[in-house]
Amino acid sequence: MKHTRREFLHALSAGAAVASLSRFGVSPAWAQSAPNDYKALVCIFLFGGNDGNNVVIGADTAGYTEYSAVRGAASGINIAQSELLTIQPKNTSRVFGLHPSLAKVHPLFASGQLAVLANVGPLNRPTTKAAYLAGTDNPYQLFSHADQQAQWQTTFSDEPSRTGWGGRLADAVKSMNGSAAMPVSTSIAGNVLFAQGSATSALTVPSSGTFGLSDNGTNSIARARQQALAALLGEGRDHTLVMETADGLANAINLSTIVNPVISATNTTVQSLFNTNGNSLALQLQQVAKLIAARDTFGVKRQVFFVSLGGFDTHTGQLNTQVNLLTQVGDAMKSFYDATATLGVADKVTSFTLSDFGRTFKPAAGGGSDHAWGNHHFIMGGAVKGGAMYGTFPTLALTGPDDVSSEGRWLPSTSVDQYAATLATWFGVTDAQLSAVLPNLSAFPTKNLGFL
């Protein structure tokens, strides 16, 4: 019996998720034997819409001429050619440059642990500029922060979703973790759509301190609070929604007893690798590194993490803002890679960036840029086929073949679905499971972009 994607999504309501999955034939697809290896995916979301046009720039004569024709010295957002951190992708003859604030992570490109995915964004299916201008099946509310953040986190560009693709990925691989109490997905950036599954829920861990009401045996106030809460959680269990909520909270409290000692540790192997002073992303990735270091304690084989950094909505003052933010990104990512290498899992952990959207190539008044579409992203890790650029770098011409406006809003050459599918396949999701994790993937002929 065939079901539409809309029916599938509506079936995943809170109290009936597991039953709905069984009705739609999804449960058998999730069943997998426990693997012998460990793998983790780490999503780094740059909230606000990072301007990729100033992150990856043509650095040879032709490329920089194209760039500076629009973003020249008088534009207020120009990056000088001499300041670019040169990269030579091994799969193209072109030379590019990274933003100078990415100095820490820049060497990983040449050594093969960092790759660039050019001009990726939400798509319902492969499209053309003509089709976009005709309004043929365009993603919903393309230049809206809230809608685009949701689309990047869910891969659904034509309708809302209650689950994120990281959460559906967790659903798919949950059985690989056997009886481990630790959830597959963990967010260090609050409760996020990306990590929400239909049959699994994410653990939310603070970037510093501890969580829960666990009793250490000495704090009588904490013990009294925990006992009172336990009594409350035992009430009203004849109501399904109340019972599910209570069980979820009780599980979180129980998890705190095994997670808190890990995240509160101060003398860890990896902690000295991070400079967290004024760098919230480094603080979050430090927590991720601690949790990965404890993978055997938790008994997990697969983990999905979500971290984030905000402030990228650079309508004005973009130069200084990006210097600050991209320094945090580059420093934190390099520290995290070094941590995975120290732990001996560099080839088992793949990190990747997402953001709301790209920004207009044409500068905005006040030294900024406006909301756009396709954007450039990084993939990092020992398993990455780095030193290369994937996707297709756009022609940097206003009203040109890749501009769906007159301001440099790039029509993506690669979809978020393809990006996610490549990561999911490496993670151990089977071809049969991909259609449930990424229901829109069948619209695209290329399922694996080859960067892993």
Express each pLDDT in 139-165 by its tens digit.
Answer: 999 999 999 999 999 999 877 899 999
* Domain boundary pick from 221, 242, 263: 263
Please tell me the total count of domains within the chain: 2
φ, ψ for residue 42, nearest 5 deg: -125, 110
Same domain, 80 and 130: yes
Residue type, 165: W
Q: What is the largest CA-CA distance in the chain?
A: 71
- Are residue 194 and residue 221 in the same domain, yes or no? no
Helix (H) or strand (E) run with residue 304 in it: strand 302-309
What confidence score (pLDDT) does residue 160 get?
83
Q: What is the CATH number of the domain that holds 74?
A: 3.40.720
Give the H or E element holding residue 432: helix 431-437
Last residue of a domain, one of 244, 263, 282: 263
DSSP three-state, residue 56: strand
Q: Are residues 329 and 408 in the same domain?
A: yes
Helices (H) and strands (E) in the chain, counts: 15, 12
| 147 and 252 co-located in one domain | no
Q: How far apart are CA 52 and CA 408, in angstroms?
A: 12
371 and 421 in a common domain: yes
Report yes or no on 92 lying in a domain.
yes
Q: Which of 345, 367, 369 is CA-nearest to residue 288?
A: 345
Query: Residue 328: inside a domain, yes or no?
Result: yes
What does the block give as tokens for 198?
């239909």
Same domain assignment for residues 334 and 419: yes
What's the pLDDT score for residue 66?
97
Residues 132 and 90 grouped into a single domain: yes
Answer yes or no: is 1 within a domain. Answer: no
122/166 same-domain check:
yes
- Chunked into runs of 10 residues, the chain (452 residues) has average pLDDT values of 40 34 36 76 98 98 97 97 98 97 98 98 96 94 95 90 96 95 95 94 88 54 56 57 55 78 84 94 97 95 98 98 98 98 98 98 97 98 98 98 98 98 98 95 97 98
The domain boundary, picked from 229, 263, 297, lies at 263
Helices (H), 42-82: 61-68
234 and 153 in one domain? no
Q: What is the pLDDT of residue 242?
A: 52
* pTM given for the model: 0.88
Q: Both 59 and 165 in a single domain?
A: yes
> Containing domain of residue 33, as a range?
26-209+270-443
Q: What is the CA radius of gyration of the chain?
A: 22
Give the pLDDT of residue 13.
Answer: 33
Query: Is 223 within the bounds of a domain?
Result: yes
Q: Is residue 451 part of a domain?
A: no
Q: Helix, strand, or coil here: 118?
A: strand
Whether 205 and 221 share a structural domain: no
Separation of alpha carbons 118 and 451, rounded Å: 12
Q: Name the residue among 261, 272, 341, 274 with its Cα closest to residue 307.
A: 274
pLDDT in tens, 382-416: 999 999 999 999 999 999 999 999 999 999 999 99
**Residue 323 domain flag:** yes
Residue 199 shares a structural domain with residue 222: no
Given this model, what pLDDT does residue 158 score?
A: 76
Question: Is the CB of residue 425 less than 8 Å from the CB of residue 434?
Answer: yes
Q: Is residue 168 part of a domain?
A: yes
**Does a structural domain hold residue 225?**
yes
Q: How far is CA 226 from CA 156, 189, 233, in A?
A: 40, 25, 10
